[in-house]
Amino acid sequence: MFVTVETAARTAPAAVIVAIDGPAGTGKSSTSKAVAAKLGLGYLDTGAQYRAITWWMLSNGIDVRDAAAVADAATKPVIVSGTDPAAPTITVDGLDAAGPIRTQEVTAAVSAVSAVPEVRALITELQRTIAMTARGGIVVEGRDIGSTVLPDADLKIFLTASPEARAARRSGELKGKEATDLAATREALIKRDAADSSRKASPLAKADDAVEVDTTELTLEQVIECVVTLIEGVSAEKAGLAR
């Protein structure tokens, strides 16, 4: 399901802020990037920002299990996210972190770091600033965008999929990087879901007014077209109201 998709460009009638949430393996990144490129919108991977600060903590010897230590160090790294859907970038203190933040070590530690309230407050403010200053609109993907980061987003979408489908997709992503078996991946995803959904600070949650899209039986192309149609509808309505 996770492949590069080339689609004819379309333009949203009016600039919109779109929040796409959901657990890992539902297709958030692939869908969000493709939709943003197709409609000429910006793109922000908020999960990469939490991975970036986690990578910095690990690289600097901070005990990620010590919430107080993580909180004290949270303001030190400088994280910069590019919003070009064709080539999204993320740097930490000027260093390209796109590769290092995807290791299993970071994956295992990111829930603990992202659960620290001080970390969430800093990253949330960064995300809001990027979204609100984006020219022409933006697609922001994460776990708490519609419920916490951008509660006034023009459109909120929550992607879901069965644990089996999510594990298969995530295993496919890791192939060639860090080999992992399907059962282990499924268990890791379920554990991450539990941690993200139960944390006190901005848990993984579907916003009350979000549109839920189950991607289990859909191809990537079908999910993209579904989301594009939803955005075009909201954008056209917004353009009409502005006249």
Q: Name which residue leads in pLDDT, 194 or 51.
A: 51
172 versus 1: which is more confidently predicted?
A: 172
- Nearest CA among 155, 82, 75, 69 for reference residue 112: 69
Contact assessment for residue 182 and residue 25, using Cβ atoms and an 8 Å cutoff: no
Interval 95-115 mean pLDDT: 94
- What pTM value is reported for the model? 0.83
Q: Which residues contact 199 (CB under 8 A, 6 or more apart)?
A: 111, 114, 115
Write out pLDDT tens, residues 26-67: 889 999 999 999 999 999 999 999 999 999 999 999 999 999
Read off the amino acid at residue 190.
I
Whether 199 shows a pLDDT value over 70: the answer reads no
More confident residue, 124 or 199: 124
Q: Looking at per-residue confidence, does 106 or 182 come out higher?
A: 106
Q: What is the pLDDT of residues 120-178, one digit of tens each?
A: 999 999 999 999 999 899 999 999 999 999 999 999 999 998 888 888 776 655 544 44
Query: Which residues make Cβ contacts (< 8 Å) with residue 122, sequence separation at least 6?
Result: 74, 75
**Phi/psi class of residue 202: alpha, beta or left (left: φ > 0; alpha: ψ in -120 to 50)?**
left
